[in-house]
């Protein structure tokens, strides 16, 4: 039994079959990578998991409970956080505020009126937010306007926003795209560290094979909306079908 | 202080000083001088400054923080006024129960309108709120006449029950009061050529405005305020972060509706009558102007905007042609007539033209409103100071 079970998921956009009969099982506490060429349907699959899209058919269970038909905030409260392919942050707010929002969401649930408590006196929330920013080497950017940062920094900020919620399942859609090499390596180390520290399952979509092979314990290769093969990184490296469909052009 | 950081505490203190000394500050000109025209320190107008300040502070909680632009907030102001007058008629001339009742009823009203309108966002939300407000306005004139007294407006009558007050003795209408202190009672201080009036009504309004302002500062700096700002910034992200935006926007809507109700209740407490025109769309538009003019999303902006607009409405509109002639009397006749002719459209009934032009200038050149203007001026001063410093240092270097 995996923590995430996707069965027979189909999604069409007009005439385009974006997802065709997707079956995928992600085991608890593993890092599972999904790779595949552009337009393979990787992001669409994640969109179905976080409540952005409703698939035409199929089921998706997280920890034995269906996520389909639930609202995005409900899915997040179940313990699923996502980093988007194009950074989704609160561009008008400071970096620290960006990280504090998920802190409160994690502590207080989906709605709470605490209009008379002061943000700067929420010591434990502040500590938590500052701590995660330190982990991501962003402590110096704490008071910066989030929207004015580089794309790579925005991505790291979004990662911080997800990690601070201590999710059980972390969905990462190209988390290192647009990052400098050093930051990419940093992110790899950070994800490894978090993985070692506590129970967390990660699904990671990535075009950068260095990232994939440094982190993944299982890899699924998708093309044209359907998973082709799923195996361990070593087996995937030598798989003829994979070379043909993906690695051949990426290498 | 009071759970505020230093900067906010100083701001609150400044607002408090301005509000409490307003009778002096707004009356800078001696009574007999030509400029006495521009004195705004009489109770009636000062009350309106702070009451509309409250209205705008509340509106800013919704619009400034969440970005949801309501075009129907005057409905809550009107509901507040009607509720207050009904309390004066039925219960007592004490303003306290009237104010509480206005806030509660306006809050309930906002809950219903907000619940429906917040199903949409952007322009559709604005239109829905506008539709509701116009509906209330029209109903107040027609079907709801038993409650609103239609076109005449709701007024006090000698035959009103007023169950808590002791039986009516004299033949005149009772006046609003706070535990015996009559709202209209005032004390005048004559000092040399100046005359300052301190009225109970104004000070009640000012103190309530300070409390309202303090609460809004707390709200701005709270986690709840942060969530509201997050809604304005990226509602999608907020949802994927595990927060439901609708209850937050609804809460903000109801809170700002209660502020509007409070303002309406205060208007009625100062002058116990309520008419439907208070709910008209122009009144809803006015609070939008106030907030944007002062600086939406800033703490002090709405209060400044409200003061600014009310000042124009009441002072500029009173300048007439003969006053203009008086001012330019020192010029030769032809020039004088010419200048008066040019200025005439901008004064008196034309005050809204002046206001409109100023509003456009502010929106185009100072998108952050008057507050941004103030900040820019402050920055300018700071910069000239530092460049002065640089000049000094380059001058001293060669000497070394
Ligand atoms: N909301 C949508 N409406 C219509 N078509 C869509 C929508 N979302 C995705 N598609 C289409 O579905 C297909 C799969 O897109 P998807 O974004 O899932 O690919 P991907 O594997 O994430 O690719 P990439 O590596 O470029 O991110 C593409 O052809 C895309 O154009
Ligand atoms: Mg994608």
Instruction: Give the model's pLDDT for residue B152.
Output: 86
The verdict on residue B379 lying in a domain is: no
Q: Which pair of structure tokens corresponds to residue A135?
A: 């982990």
Q: Under an 8 A CB cutoff, do A108 and B223 touch?
A: yes
pLDDT band at residue B226 using 50, 70 and 90 as cut-offs: very high
Whole-prediction pTM value? 0.92
Nearest alpha carbon to residue A164 among A83, A85, A61, A64: A83
- Whether B26 and B46 have beta carbons less than 8 Å apart is answered as yes
Q: Under an 8 A CB cutoff, do B242 and A76 touch?
A: yes
The verdict on residue B325 lying in a domain is: no
Nearest alpha carbon to residue B266 among B223, B314, B336, B209: B209
pLDDT digits (tens, 9 = 90+) for B313-329: 888 888 887 887 887 88
Residue linked to tokens 């079908």: A241
Please provide the average confidence, as pLDDT, over all residues in chain A.
Answer: 91
Measured between CA atoms, how close is B242 to chain A, in angstroms?
4
With both helix axes pointing from N to C terminus, report the angle between B74-90 and B281-294 in degrees, rounded to the nearest 10. 120
Q: For residues A21 and A228, what is the distance between their CA atoms, to the nearest angstrom?
A: 11
Superfamily (CATH H level) for A4-93+168-247:
P-loop containing nucleotide triphosphate hydrolases (3.40.50.300)
Nearest CA in chain B to A98: B230
Secondary structure of residue B82 in the 3-state scheme? helix
**Residue A118 burial (CB count, 10 A):** 16
Instruction: Give the model's pLDDT for residue B398.
Output: 35
pLDDT digits (tens, 9 = 90+) for A184-202: 998 999 899 989 988 999 9
Secondary structure of residue A61 in the 3-state scheme? strand
pLDDT tens across the length of chain A (251 residues): 789 999 999 999 998 999 999 999 999 999 999 999 999 999 999 999 999 999 999 999 999 999 999 999 999 999 999 999 999 999 999 999 999 999 999 999 999 998 888 888 899 999 999 999 998 889 999 999 999 999 889 999 999 999 999 999 999 999 988 888 988 998 999 899 989 988 999 999 999 999 999 999 999 999 899 999 999 998 888 887 777 766 555 44
- Work out the average pLDDT over B166-178: 76
Ranges A89-93, B95-99, B196-200, B239-243: which has the least confidence:
B196-200
DSSP 8-class letter at B276: G
Please calculate the CA angle B163-B166-B171 and round it to the nearest 5 degrees: 105
The verdict on residue B285 lying in a domain is: yes
User: Which residues from B are below 8 Å from A161, CB to CB?
Assistant: 241
- Work out the average pLDDT over B65-88: 95
Instruction: Give the model's pLDDT for residue B400.
Output: 33
- Map out the domains of chain A as residue ranges: 4-93+168-247
Phi-psi region of A11 (alpha: psi -120 to 50; beta: other; left: phi over 0): beta
Instruction: Give the model's pLDDT for residue A249.
Output: 52
- How far, in Å, are A57, A66, B19 from residue A69 at the CA level? 12, 8, 53
C-alpha A11 to ligand 1 mean position (Å)? 11
The verdict on residue B396 lying in a domain is: no
pLDDT digits (tens, 9 = 90+) for B265-313: 999 999 998 988 889 888 999 999 999 999 999 999 999 999 999 988 8
B186, β-bridge pairs? B199
Q: CATH number of the domain at B185, please.
A: 1.10.3470
Instruction: Give the model's pLDDT for residue B150.
Output: 84
Nearest Cα residue to atom 9 of ligand 1: A44
Q: Under an 8 A CB cutoff, do A104 and B239 touch?
A: no
User: Which residues from A are below 8 Å from B232, CB to CB?
Assistant: 92
Instruction: Give the model's pLDDT for residue A245.
Output: 63
Across the interface, which of B221, B227, B251 has its CB nearest the CB of A101? B227
A153: Cβ contacts below 8 Å, ≥ 6 apart: A138, A141
- Whether A50 and A82 have beta carbons less than 8 Å apart is answered as yes
Whole-complex ipTM? 0.93
Pocket residue to mutate for ligand 1, from A34, A43, A55, most atoms within 8 A of Cβ: A43
C-alpha A173 to ligand 2 mean position (Å)? 7
Measured between CA atoms, how close is B342 to chain A, in angstroms?
44
Instruction: Give the model's pLDDT for residue B385.
Output: 61
Instruction: Give the model's pLDDT for residue B392.
Output: 38
pLDDT digits (tens, 9 = 90+) for A200-242: 999 999 999 999 999 999 999 998 999 999 999 988 888 877 7
The verdict on residue B319 lying in a domain is: no
Q: For residues B167 and B178, what is the distance between their CA atoms, to the nearest angstrom?
A: 18
- How far, in Å, are A89, B3, B151, B245, B361 from residue B234 at the CA level? 7, 28, 44, 10, 29
Instruction: Give the model's pLDDT for residue A246.
Output: 61
The verdict on residue B177 lying in a domain is: yes
Instruction: Give the model's pLDDT for residue B389.
Output: 44
Q: A246 versus B73: which is more confidently predicted? A: B73
Nearest alpha carbon to residue B239 among A110, A95, A188: A110
Please calculate the CA angle B176-B181-B187 and round it to the nearest 5 degrees: 105
User: Which residues from B are below 8 Å from A118, CB to CB?
Assistant: 3-5, 218, 221-222
- Whether B277 and B353 have beta carbons less than 8 Å apart is answered as no
**Residue A251 burial (CB count, 10 A):** 7
Instruction: Give the model's pLDDT for residue A179.
Output: 84
pLDDT digits (tens, 9 = 90+) for B18-70: 999 988 888 888 888 877 878 888 888 999 999 999 999 999 999 999 999 99
DSSP secondary structure of B316-348: GGG--HHHHHHHTTTS-HHHHHHHHHHHGGGSG
C-alpha A79 to ligand 2 mean position (Å)? 22
Instruction: Give the model's pLDDT for residue B170.
Output: 66
The domain tally of chain B equals 1
pLDDT band at residue B163 using 50, 70 and 90 as cut-offs: confident
The verdict on residue B397 lying in a domain is: no
Q: Under an 8 A CB cutoff, do B241 and A77 touch?
A: no
The verdict on residue B133 lying in a domain is: yes
C-alpha A33 to ligand 2 mean position (Å)? 13
């Amino acid at each position: 039994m995996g923590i995430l079970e996707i069965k027979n998921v189909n999604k069409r956009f007009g005439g385009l079959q974006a997802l065709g009969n997707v079956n995928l099982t992600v085991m608890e506490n593993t890092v599972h990578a999904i790779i595949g060429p552009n337009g393979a349907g990787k992001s669409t699959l994640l969109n179905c998991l976080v409540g952005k899209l409703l698939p035409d058919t199929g089921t998706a269970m997280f920890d034995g409970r269906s996520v389909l038909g639930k609202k995005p905030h409900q899915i997040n409260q179940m313990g699923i956080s996502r980093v988007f392919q194009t950074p989704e942050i609160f561009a008008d707010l400071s970096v620290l505020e960006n990280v504090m929002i998920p802190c409160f969401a994690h502590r207080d649930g989906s709605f709470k009126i605490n209009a008379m408590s002061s943000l700067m006196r929420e010591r434990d929330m502040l500590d938590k937010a500052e701590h995660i920013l330190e982990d991501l080497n962003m402590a110096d950017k704490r008071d910066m306007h989030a929207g004015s940062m580089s794309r790579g920094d925005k991505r790291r900020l979004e990662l911080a926003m997800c990690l601070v919620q201590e999710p059980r399942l972390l969905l990462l859609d190209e988390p290192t795209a647009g990052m400098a090499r050093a930051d990419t390596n940093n992110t790899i180390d950070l994800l490894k560290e978090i993985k070692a520290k506590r129970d967390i399952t990660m699904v990671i979509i990535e075009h950068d094979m260095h990232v994939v092979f440094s982190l993944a314990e299982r890899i699924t290769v998708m093309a044209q909306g359907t998973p082709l093969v799923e195996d361990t990184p070593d087996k995937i490296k030598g798989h003829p079908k994979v070379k043909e469909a993906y690695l051949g052009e990426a290498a | 202080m009071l759970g505020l950081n230093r900067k906010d505490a100083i701001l609150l203190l400044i607002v408090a000083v301005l509000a409490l000394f307003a009778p002096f500050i707004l009356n800078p000109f001696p009574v007999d001088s030509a400029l006495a025209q521009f004195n705004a320190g009489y109770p009636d107008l000062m009350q309106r400054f702070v009451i509309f300040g409250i209205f705008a502070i509340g509106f800013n909680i919704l619009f400034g923080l969440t970005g949801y632009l309501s075009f129907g907030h005057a409905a809550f102001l009107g509901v507040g006024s009607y509720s207050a007058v009904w309390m004066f008629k039925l219960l007592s001339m004490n303003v306290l129960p009237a104010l509480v009742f206005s806030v509660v009823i306006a809050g309930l009203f906002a809950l219903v309108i907000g619940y429906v309108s917040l199903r949409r966002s952007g322009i559709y939300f604005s239109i829905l709120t506008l539709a509701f407000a116009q509906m209330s306005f029209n109903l107040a004139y027609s079907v709801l006449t038993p409650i609103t007294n239609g076109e005449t407006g709701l007024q006090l009558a000698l035959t009103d029950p007023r169950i808590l007050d002791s039986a009516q003795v004299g033949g005149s209408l009772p006046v609003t009061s706070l535990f015996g202190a009559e709202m209209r009672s005032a004390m005048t201080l004559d000092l040399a050529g100046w005359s300052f009036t301190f009225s109970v009504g104004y000070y009640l309004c000012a103190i309530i405005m300070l409390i309202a302002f303090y609460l809004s500062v707390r709200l701005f700096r709270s986690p709840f305020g942060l969530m509201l700002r997050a809604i304005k910034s990226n509602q999608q992200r907020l949802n994927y972060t595990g927060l439901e935006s609708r209850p937050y926007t609804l809460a903000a809507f109801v809170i700002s509706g209660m502020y509007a109700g409070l303002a309406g209740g205060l208007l009625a407490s100062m002058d116990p009558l309520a008419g439907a025109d208070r709910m008209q769309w122009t009144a809803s538009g006015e609070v939008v102007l106030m907030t944007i003019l002062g600086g939406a999303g800033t703490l002090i902006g709405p209060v400044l905007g409200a003061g600014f607009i009310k000042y124009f409405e009441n002072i500029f509109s009173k300048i007439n042609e003969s006053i203009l002639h008086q001012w330019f009397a020192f010029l030769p006749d032809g020039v004088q007539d010419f200048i008066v002719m040019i200025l005439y459209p901008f004064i008196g009934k034309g005050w809204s033209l002046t206001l409109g032009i100023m509003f456009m200038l502010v929106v185009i050149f100072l998108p952050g409103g008057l507050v941004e203007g103030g900040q820019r001026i402050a920055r300018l001063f700071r910069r000239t100071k530092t460049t002065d410093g640089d000049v000094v240092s380059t001058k001293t270097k060669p000497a070394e």
